[in-house]
Structure 1
Amino acid sequence: MGALHEGHLSLARLAAAENSEVFVSIYVNPTQFGVHEDLDSYPVTWDRDMTMLNKLDDELKAGGKGRITTIFAPSTKIMYPTLPPDSTIPGAGSFVNITPLATLLEGKSRPVFFRGVATVCMKLFNIVEPDRVYFGQKDVQQSVIIKRMVTDFHLNTEVRVGATKREEDGLAMSSRNVYLGERRRKAGIVLSQVLRAAEAAYKMGKKDRDDILMFAWYVINDRIMEQDGLAETERARFEIDYISLADPNTLEEVQTVNESKGAVLSGAIKMLPLKAVVDGEKLGLGDDKVPVRLIDNIVLEPSRK
């Protein structure tokens, strides 16, 4: 959806390593935003995006790999030719629903999100007819849903998933990170810390859900207490939406990790708007008044194959 970062570029590099031609689609899709979500404020950085892609294509040219040959940036009239996009429930229009996957995790609090994702991806796949499509591991539920859609609708494309790209402190790269000023950006790493703590428990041999997630909730409670002890001009509050330990194929919650399948640790938090700022404080896009939803995940690899 534009506002490109190194995570997007890494997928283009992966595509160029495996194909002679790379198409990059850029389209802010209205139907994956709920009625009261941040569509109007979503960052649009077209000129910067084009500069980044041109620079990457120069890199690919020098490396003798595949090239970025097409930027596909359709209008909404092209993507929704008969009816305007509708984000209400049930909504008017032609939609693709992948259930029950779309009702889990992110889908519980964002009921139209994956309907919009699956619908726009089906449209893109039909228009471009790609040999392969590339998605990031950060959006693990999205990648699982797209794989299911490709299988169930017999689409002639291969779904490839690239590793999550992170900042040096562990924060998963996201276009929405531009909303985070210095204070909320520093606090936002709590999600990656929470997942790393649970992953460490798994690597220590824990397989039971409660034993693994206990480590995650310890970190969460510690960070909440830390924020509670700060003055309002220093505080960056967050809310936990979910912490999940799920089957890697169905995303259904598991009580015990299957050693031959592994599992997916994932979570979502909402960074709340700052209630008070000080002069000279480094603020994000929208002056840290926009709630920011952060998601992340870690794949727990099988311990026995």
Structure 2
Amino acid sequence: MAMQEQAIAWRQAGEEIGFVPTMGALHAGHERLVTRARRENQRVIVSIFVNPTQFGPNEDFASYPRSFEADRARLEALGVDAIFNPSVDQIYPSSFKTRVDPGPLAELLEGKSRPGHFAGVLTVVLKLFQLTQPKRAYFGQKDFQQVVLVRQLVRDFALPVRIVAVPTVREPDGLAISSRNAYLGPPQRAVAPSIHNALDGASNAFGAGVTDPAELEAIVRHLLEGMPGVAIDYVAVVDDTTLRRPVRTIAGNVLAVAVKLGPIRLIDNVVLGAERL
């Protein structure tokens, strides 16, 4: 594939490649990833591929926002070296048979609500790494379970890639920037910042000395349950590597939440006592 040939040529010339995998519908969060990659590498590749294997049967693959021309203009303005926009047939030809089994961590948190999701994510990430040959790959911290599992993939398969987790970019009112925010109607958008506010409340409690995971989770639940139209999927304090609940919360543990606002599912998290994973 031409992308792979170009990437190999750059590597053979001694140039380090930074890779930002995306599904398009680019926003300020993606720009932060690209800017970081641009700063740390001689070459930057951004992929735009809406990966069908990470969507469940009742999820939004068909309606997922696609805006390639606008995305390309944004990336060109950021000075990326290559935009990789493969077709589904290029990534998954009819002869494609192999899938990555992500193991038990993929059954927790997001995996409970989205069975098979992370198998699709890790399969496409592994293939994209092969095609782009990166030294570093950049992922948003908002999808922290994805970061944990991609790091597991890199470790288990001894891939020569460093995974860089970039802190979540937020709207002025605290809402984590996401392509799915475009689905929010005005009433839902008005309520959405309460997700971050609830996480902030628990983070402040941790800073004040609360270390019982159940108590921190209860703070988030209490703040969200009073908001109109919010249905909580999960609230969980977890270790940032094992994804298991700690006996006592320590700095670096992650407080994660998933909620539905009507039909729209949003996730967010905060790293307690630290800025990043």
TM-score (norm 1): 0.80
Letter in 1 for 2:118: F
Partner residue, 1:288 = none
Task: Please report how far the alpha carbon of residue 115 of structure 1 lies from its aligned counterpart in structure 2 after TM superposition.
Answer: 0.6
The counterpart of 1:133, out of the listed 133, 137, 145, is 137
Partner residue, 1:88 = none
Query: Is residue 69 of structure 2 the alignment partner of residue 77 of structure 1?
Result: no
Letter in 2 for 1:109: S
Task: Please report how far the alpha carbon of residue 248 of structure 1 lies from its aligned counterpart in structure 2 after TM superposition.
Answer: 0.9
Q: C-alpha deviations, 1:185-213, integer Å up to 9, x for none?
A: 11112211121111111011111112222
Count matched residues.
252
Structure of greater Rg? 1
Task: Please report how far the alpha carbon of residue 255 of structure 1 lies from its aligned counterpart in structure 2 after TM superposition.
Answer: 3.2
The counterpart of 2:243, out of the listed 251, 265, 268, is 251
Q: Any residues of structure 2 matched to 1:31-110 within 5 Å, and which?
A: 31-57=53-79, 68-83=80-95, 93-110=97-114
Letter in 2 for 1:301: G
**CA distance in structure 1 between the aligned counterparts of 2:77 and 2:130, rounded to whole angstroms:** 29
**CA distance in structure 2 between the aligned counterparts of 1:83 and 1:108, rounded to whole angstroms:** 30
Letter in 2 for 1:249: T
Letter in 2 for 1:295: I
TM-score (norm 2): 0.88
**CA distance in structure 2 between the aligned counterparts of 1:238 and 1:219, rounded to whole angstroms:** 11
Letter in 1 for 2:253: A
Task: Please report how far the alpha carbon of residue 81 of structure 1 lies from its aligned counterpart in structure 2 after TM superposition.
Answer: 1.5
Could you list the structure 1 runs, at least 4 aligned residues long, displaced by more than 3 angstroms after superposition.
none
Task: Please report how far the alpha carbon of residue 116 of structure 1 lies from its aligned counterpart in structure 2 after TM superposition.
Answer: 0.6
Task: Please report how far the alpha carbon of residue 9 of structure 1 lies from its aligned counterpart in structure 2 after TM superposition.
Answer: 0.6
Q: Which runs of 5+ in 2 are unaligned?
A: 1-22
Partner residue, 2:20 = none
The counterpart of 1:189, out of the listed 193, 205, 229, is 193
Task: Please report how far the alpha carbon of residue 301 of structure 1 lies from its aligned counterpart in structure 2 after TM superposition.
Answer: 2.8
Q: C-alpha deviations, 1:36-74, integer Å up to 9, x for none?
A: 1110100001111112112222xxxxxxxxxx1100011
Partner residue, 2:13 = none
Partner residue, 1:22 = 44
2:198/2:223 contact within 8 Å kept: yes
Letter in 2 for 1:153: F
Task: Please report how far the alpha carbon of residue 254 of structure 1 lies from its aligned counterpart in structure 2 after TM superposition.
Answer: 2.2
Task: Please report how far the alpha carbon of residue 31 of structure 1 lies from its aligned counterpart in structure 2 after TM superposition.
Answer: 0.3
The counterpart of 2:126, out of the listed 102, 122, 125, is 122
**CA distance in structure 2 between the aligned counterparts of 1:45 and 1:83, rounded to whole angstroms:** 29
The counterpart of 1:164, out of the listed 161, 165, 168, is 168
**CA distance in structure 1 between the aligned counterparts of 2:148 and 2:51, rounded to whole angstroms:** 19
Identity %: 44
How large is the Cα RMSD of the aligned pairs? 1.3
Letter in 2 for 1:251: L
Partner residue, 1:2 = 24
Query: Is residue 255 of structure 2 the alignment partner of residue 265 of structure 1?
Result: yes
Q: C-alpha deviations, 1:106-138, integer Å up to 9, x for none?
A: 000100111110000000011111111000000
